[in-house]
Structure 1
């Protein structure tokens, strides 16, 4: 297993900022004055605990510059509200967008942190009215919130699910409509087995949600992938001695190479 000191000087993961954006992306920083492929997304695009994330491998396979604009904890909210990120996407030749999950967005039931979209900020009045018996003061993460509500095992959770689906489609549709270059949507269906405590299938991205986005994109690539704790890639990852539980929930280097290979094939076929 490849361990790396948490305080190591030469980290496998550097972060950087780009002009006008409030997000931190996978480093090192790249110049924006040349043609490039913009790869937008969350933790899978960022490539946590992986030396060569799929945007870097994609650059090698395409022989053209690919910017890794993956940002940790980036969901729909951070992606669609960051004007600097939109500017960078609009300066690219083609934009690869890893579809974010639908939990990390503000809606009529709750608000999330504008950049760390996994963080639950506060319930809205509609959620308090829907679950009057709940005390939300000790809830700090969105997944914790939805796990708790799902555990009630009644029809109320369906209202929350539908709200999230509607807002997810609306916000992503508006964002994509503002992107000028061709957009390739990357839908990673991540298999986590029993490693994660997830709210349930009602909060998963499904084809019916993606279809309304089709008019705004050039193509859609859907791939089934496994986290390293399931795929046995953990030994090939770089992490500190206390970070193994987190690393088990991330995709490994072989999976990143497979994603890059599939993306390269689609982009070459597009002739963009």
Structure 2
């Protein structure tokens, strides 16, 4: 049996489910009756290690419930495989959809876990035929695998990157078609301190401006948030985590980043309402 011991400094995320969903989202649980806004995204929307993630801060600014459908390490596949989330947008005033990277989703080269999208399951025959010298049994996570491929097979990695971009575009367009009503895309730029940047590149990984521009006709607004130097360099200030969790906390946006996201979304949200 596996379990986590978060330690005395950890937060209570009040995990909750909505409807028949198998996913545990961050609480406290909000009612899906009446007026609300849906916040859909990955770890940055969930807000691990932060007492008030941007959906909670936006809720305070709007005076209207914001349902946090953020899910840790989620790629597009989580929400494509969970109809309860897209169904919840039917009654939402509007939905904010965080753009997630292209690494955590199944594609022609490899498969990921349908709910834990950062978990690498298996390489396809195509993947193994291209990267013949790589032992894929060594990998449990997509980021570790892709970092290794980028270092050891840069030319072949470029072809894989193009495949991931194409798959992401198709999947993202399909997701936007499923999300009902008005939609806002949240494009969060690099939020890590330069000393802790990911070797794969800035988040959302592999996503370009041209790709996002191609999605603009499908949404009402695109909000780009580039965290300030002060927010990026704040480290773990104001974050809550257990003794062994500091390395993970350094890779997540802190309270100042969440505040800047909410501040950027607030005027758009008021216009939408």
TM over 0.5, shorter chain: yes
- Unaligned runs of 5+ residues in structure 2 are none
Tell me if the contact between 1:80 and 1:175 (Cα under 8 Å) persists in the aligned partners.
yes
2 CA distance for matches of 1:24 and 1:213? 28
Partner of 1:83: 83
Partner of 2:58: 58
State the shift of 1:63 in Å.
1.1
- Confirm whether residue 198 of structure 1 aligns to residue 225 of structure 2: no
Moved over 3 A (4+): 7-12, 200-203, 226-230
Partner of 2:244: 242
Bigger fraction of residues in strand: 1
2 CA distance for matches of 1:256 and 1:74? 18
2 CA distance for matches of 1:141 and 1:241? 23
Partner of 2:138: 138
State the shift of 1:154 in Å.
3.7
Helix, strand or coil: the match of 2:227?
Answer: strand
Change (3 A) 1:165 1:226: farther
2 CA distance for matches of 1:167 and 1:191? 25
User: Size of the alignment, in residue pairs?
Assistant: 267
Helix, strand or coil: the match of 1:151?
Answer: helix
Helix, strand or coil: the match of 2:138?
Answer: coil
Partner of 2:234: 232
State the shift of 1:20 in Å.
2.6
State the shift of 1:80 in Å.
1.9
- Unaligned runs of 5+ residues in structure 1 are none
Change (3 A) 1:250 1:228: farther
Partner of 2:122: 122
Helix, strand or coil: the match of 2:217?
Answer: helix
User: After superposition, what is the alpha-carbon deviation per residue over 1:18-52, rounded to whole angstroms, capped at 9, x for unaligned?
Assistant: 11322211111111111100001111111111111
Q: Which moved more, 1:51-60 or 1:17-26?
A: 17-26
Q: TM-score, normalised by structure 1?
A: 0.91
Helix, strand or coil: the match of 2:18?
Answer: coil
Partner of 1:215: 217
User: After superposition, what is the alpha-carbon deviation per residue over 1:189-238, rounded to whole angstroms, capped at 9, x for unaligned?
Assistant: 12432324432479431111112211211010011137999422522111
Q: TM-score, normalised by structure 2?
A: 0.91
Change (3 A) 1:73 1:33: same
Helix, strand or coil: the match of 2:190?
Answer: strand
Partner of 1:112: 112
Partner of 1:13: 13
1 CA distance for matches of 2:219 and 2:163? 23
Partner of 2:149: 149
**What RMSD over aligned residues (CA atoms) do the two structures have, in Å?**
2.2
Helix, strand or coil: the match of 1:111?
Answer: strand
Helix, strand or coil: the match of 2:196?
Answer: coil
1 CA distance for matches of 2:10 and 2:190? 29
